[in-house]
Amino acid sequence: MSKTFFNAVYIFAAILILSVFAFKVFQPIQVLPRMRLAPAFQFTDQDNQPLTSETLRGQFVLYSFTYTHCPAPCYNMTETIKEIQSRLGEVDLGGIPVSFVTISIDPDRDTPEVLKVYGESIGADFTQWKFATTSNKGLLKTIVGAGFETYYEDKGGGNITFDPGYVLVDGWGVVRSEYRYSTEVSDADRILRHLGVLAEEVRNSTGSSKLAYEAAHLFLCYAP
Amino acid sequence: MRIKFFLSVSVIILGLAAGIYFFRPHTFHGTVIQSPERSFDFTLTSAQGDVSPSDFRGKIVLLYFGYTFCPDVCPGTLGNVAQALRDLGAKADEVQLIMVSLDPERDTPEKLAEYMDHFHPSFIGVTGSKEQLDEVASLYGVYYQKTEGSSATGYLIDHTATLLVLDREGYLKLVFPFGVTAKEIADDLKYMLRQ
């Protein structure tokens, strides 16, 4: 083998290694990890209509958890959700619908009627924002506690302690992000950015682009 | 000198192209899940006794949720998995399919065993109480609901028809949508078995 041949091999090998390194460092494509399957459920919404995980397929869904008797100062997810809802136009969603589902962790008191009054009192737009409850307390614990990995516990006397947060689920029913701690960037800004990242991945989920996006998952190019 | 250089470059480009083609990363047909935690373990009843996915650590476990009265969706998927296992040859011993019945009223462990045996001798069918099945199905993202059928079929059960793949360590690795073919299942399993 000539010296020229080996020089060329070294150059190409260096280019290849640099390309992989650049992909990892500069992360030209960002994705959200596919963390786990979201739990399946059948709840009742504020209008006494069934709300199931199956009917939400094909949409991006932001789940939140609360109870209407939560004493002040209760974690205020209302303003965050309303801000996201009002700013959805800033994100290119490619026509993929977004829903907000707030699951009550107090099924004894939060009947659909109570949830409806609560939703109206905070000015919720029920076409996009559903409030969910169920009479099956055991299964609720499975769904919220084990499925959405959101801790809550009935302390008695009408008090429930819980870890507030949001869980973002994609159209395939896969958990893609969780928001449990405050960061310098507001929850609304992060969630809106993540909705854009998800929509971008859906748009590029076929052909050669799919390979690049799967590589981004492989190289852990996760959007902050 | 110049001809030599261009010849070298051409050989390398061809070599690289061949290398990229033969060593390209496997493109899964199912959706890849990157869960940092092992998937939910459960214990349900088969005709041979209690069965848990964790009983099969070291093997790839396929989880499917269905029922023996299922008119079309379940037989289609189970038939495709059986065909995929035949394509794997001796390696099929390293794969275990478990079907969780969503019809505890009609599917006894014995009935499940007979049904599963029609597809593949290694297939296992399990059942449990309604409460147990609700929990297991929910945590694997499987929605199900009893619906009205005809007088011939009795009631039917609408259910999520995904096929789930747990790796040898019990982590959920893949989710196949309904309609996945035997060849696609076999391709992904062959890749996972090489890992």
The reply to whether A42 and A64 lie within a common domain is yes
pLDDT, one tens digit per residue, over B125-168 is 999 999 999 999 999 999 999 998 887 778 999 999 999 999 99
Same structural domain, A2 and A58: no
Distances (CA, A) of A206 to A91, A199, A220, B27: 21, 13, 20, 12
Whether A224 maps to a domain, the answer reads: no
Which amino acid, one-letter code, is at A199? A
Closest residue to B139, CB basis, from A34, A39, A173: A39
What integer is the mean pLDDT of A128-156? 95
- Check whether A180 has a pLDDT greater than 60: yes
Partner-chain contact A12 B25, CB within 8 Å = no
Sign of CA dihedral A84, A85, A90, A94: positive
Interface contacts (A, B; CB < 8 Å): 94
What is the predicted pLDDT for the residue at B23?
61
C-alpha atoms less than 13 angstroms from C-alpha of A133 in its C-beta half-sphere: 21
Best of B134, B138, B166 to disrupt the A interface (most A CBs within 10 Å) is B138
Supply the ipTM of this predicted assembly.
0.86
DSSP3 helix / strand / coil % (chain B, rounded to 5)? 40, 20, 35
Q: Which domains occur in chain B, in start order?
A: 29-194 (3.40.30.10)
Containing domain of residue A107, as a range? Answer: 36-218
**In sequence order, which ranges of chain A are alpha helices (DSSP H)?**
3-26, 78-87, 112-121, 137-140, 187-203, 207-218
A16 and A113 within one domain: no
Which one of A9, A54, A146 has the shortest CB-CB distance to B143? A54
Let me know whether A168 and A211 are in one domain: yes
User: In Å, how far are A83, A118, A151, A162 from A66, measured between CA atoms?
Assistant: 18, 11, 11, 8
CATH of the domain at A189: 3.40.30.10
Compute the average pLDDT of residues A51-77: 91
pLDDT of residue B65: 98
A61, A139: one domain: yes
Share of chain B above pLDDT 90, in %: 81
CB of B127 within 8 A of CB of B138?
no
| Pair A46, A61 in one domain | yes
